[in-house]
Amino acid sequence: MRAMPDMEEEGGAIGFAARKITSSEFFLPLFREGMDIVAAAAAYLEGEGKRESEGLRTGPKLAYIAVSMRLVVALTEIVAWLVLHRAVQEGEITFDAAASDAGRPVLSRLARLSDLPGREAVPERLAEIADRIDRLGSRLAATERALYGDPTAAFPNPVLQRIALIEAAFAKR
């Protein structure tokens, strides 16, 4: 039995978006899709991807490394978000507790993998997985905005802030 969100609008009514998003019919397919992408990415990076990367020249190999590292970061954030919201959906924590957690993942801050420099040089299968992650990340970020409004102002991501500083430092060269 899932827990209904505690978030209330004026007049004591539970928000429609929160009710729909935390429903099994809406959430479980997203959760399964996320876990399927994680499994596909892990299988690729440990198998075919490892073999493909060995034969790459320096430039494409660096692009492969950069995309695969950012892919793992994105998947980590997505899985954390999905697990948190599964806990809400299953009644393990309340919606208000999830909403007020300053450490909760903020998917609207995820960089799109398709925008990474050198992305066009990576093997086709890695590009396909990155595209799947981008699409799921966009859908989850839209879900997040429907649930919480714009969370990026309230919960800045320190890792992404550091990455932006590093990118800015190298851009000056």
Beta pairing partners, 8 = 14
* Residue recorded with tokens 């492969």: 64
Instruction: Please check whether residue 114 is in contact with residue 132, taking contact to mean a CB–CB distance below 8 angstroms.
Output: no
Between 20 and 99, the more confident residue is 99
Instruction: Say yes or no to pLDDT of 95 above 50.
Output: yes
Q: Which two tokens stand for residue 1?
A: 């039995």
Cα 103 to Cα 33, 109, 132, 149, 158: the distances in Å are 24, 14, 25, 16, 11
Residues 68-77 have pLDDT tens digits of 999 999 999 9
Of the chain, the percentage scoring pLDDT greater than 70 comes to 80
pLDDT at 114: 82
What does pTM read for this prediction?
Answer: 0.72
pLDDT for residue 2 is more than 60: no
Dihedral of alpha carbons 96, 154, 107, 77, sign: negative
CA-nearest of 172, 5, 171 to 88 is 5
Taking CA 167 as the corner, what is the angle to CA 166 and CA 173, rounded to the nearest 5 degrees? 100
Determine the average pLDDT of the residues in 18-34.
81
Alpha-carbon gap, residue 12 to 21, rounded angstroms: 19
For the stretch 101-154, pLDDT in tens is 777 888 877 778 888 777 788 889 998 999 999 999 988 888 888 777 764 544
Average pLDDT over residues 96-101: 82
Average pLDDT, the chain: 80
